[in-house]
Chains A and B, each alone.
Chain A
Amino acid sequence: MGRDEFVFLLIGLKWTVALSVVAFICGCIAGLIVALARTSGITLLERITAGYIAVFQGTPLLMQLFVVYYGLALIGIRMDAWAAVSVGLTLHASAYLGEIWRGSIEAVPKGQTEAAKALALRYFSRMKDVVLPQAIRISLPATIGFLVQLIKGTSLASIVGFTELTRAGNIISNQIFQPITVFGIVGILYFLMCCPLTIYGAHLERKFAASTR
């Protein structure tokens, strides 16, 4: 494996990072909406979001990407693979993050909401200033855990036909017939992205466990 092949892998790596960042940021925004709707107290909204979460947690990410990819084309939205995969991963992330944050919003003691109500804070301010800051703190380890899962999930974009790290590895391995070397390096690159996050997540978890003891 020469220098050119490695550079090609690094270009793939760039797209993996871009895909992860876009999906995570958009997923956070959509996930927050899902989490707020899920805990809104409005039965209809709660039912709909519960169903939304159940569908995404009960089906493979690969199928979600396929359905979004072909479904968008079907309703007349022409998109390249990059945009379609971003949309698919964003929806996937919004469901998982919505469920994680629902848990942490519910984990904030009820007295906090009651106190905020007693101080005549409106819903918006109650959430922004009282509940969410605490909930986000609680959810951090799980959120980082999901980010790792999302980075690994971007590899499935290769099956839909988007050239990110795994597909770059596939192409190179078909060219130079050294699949073990190529996928070994691809694996190491993923590991270098995910491992620091995993360690940081475990560190936060220990820190919070110590502070609540």
Chain B
Amino acid sequence: MNYTLDFTPVIDGLPSLLSACLGTFFLAICGMLLATVIGIGGVVLRQSPIKALRWLVIGFVEIIRNTPFLVQIFFIYFALPLAGIRLDPTPTAIIALGINGGAYAIEIIRGGVQSISKGQMEAGLALGLHKAQVFRLIILKPALRAIYPSLTSQFVLLTLSTSIASAISAYELTSVSQRIESDSFRSFEVYFTVTVFYLVISWVMMRIFAFFSARYFSYPVK
């Protein structure tokens, strides 16, 4: 077996690979924002007094968490046009990422909200804090602090699952690398390089999350 590695097609394709990295970042960030919105909305609905709404949210979470993202993205890709919504692959992928991430976010945020006991709020009011201050300092900040590690690691997973969006040929790193691969047949070289790119992308994501954590969620006194 004499196969010589040849990275020339990868080097030639570097500009398009790098801009595809931006596409991956774009997908990931839009997906995260949508997931956060769905997560918060879902938690609000999950605690509504109407039983049917609560079960709807529970059903949604369980269905999403127990089926593969690839099947979900195919389903959404084919279901949206039937509902009269015509979208390009990239917005479709964002919706799918948001729905998938949203289901996990609901569970995570719910845990954070439950971790704040009522006594905390009462203690804050008793100390003479304003209602807005109580919400911001005693409810929101500790709840965010509690969910931040699991929410951000879920978001890193979401970033990695953007690669699955290549199945509906959304614009991101994997689909661009598949194009370069099918042009050059240098499969291993292309995918190896792209794997390194993903490693850097997830590392950058983790650094950004760690920066925010240190900036906003560190305790003032240690």
Contacts and interface: CB of A to CB of B under 8 A. Distances in A.
Contact of B161 (A60, A71, A180, A187): A60
Interface residues on A, range: 35 or more
Given A191-B67, A198-B65, 7 more contacts: A55-B199, A59-B198, A62-B166, A63-B163, A152-B69, A170-B74, A194-B67
21 contacts: A58-B198, A58-B199, A58-B203, A59-B198, A60-B160, A60-B162, A60-B164, A64-B195, A74-B188, A148-B66, A152-B68, A152-B69, A155-B69, A159-B166, A170-B74, A180-B75, A183-B75, A184-B75, A190-B68, A194-B67, A195-B66
Interface of A: 55, 57-64, 66-67, 70-71, 73-76, 148, 152-156, 158-159, 166, 169-170, 173, 179-180, 183-184, 186-187, 190-191, 194-195, 198
Contacts of A70: 187-188, 191
Contacts of B167: 159
A67 B190 CA distance: 9
Contacts of A170: 74
Nearest to A158: B70
Contacts of A64: 195
Interface in B85-118: none
B120 to A, nearest CB: 21
B213 interface: no
Contacts of B122: none
B71 A166 contact: yes
Interface residues of B, number: 36
Nearest to A199: B62
Contact of B72 (A67, A71, A154, A187): A187
A100 B187 CA distance: 32
A186 B164 CA distance: 17
B104 to A, nearest CB: 11
B93 to A, nearest CB: 14
A198 B62 CA distance: 9
Contact of B71 (A66, A71, A74, A187): A187
A169 B78 CA distance: 13
A148 to B, nearest CB: 7
Contact of B174 (A62, A169, A194, A198): A62
Contact of A60 (B62, B75, B163, B187): B163
Nearest to B188: A70
B66 to A, nearest CB: 4
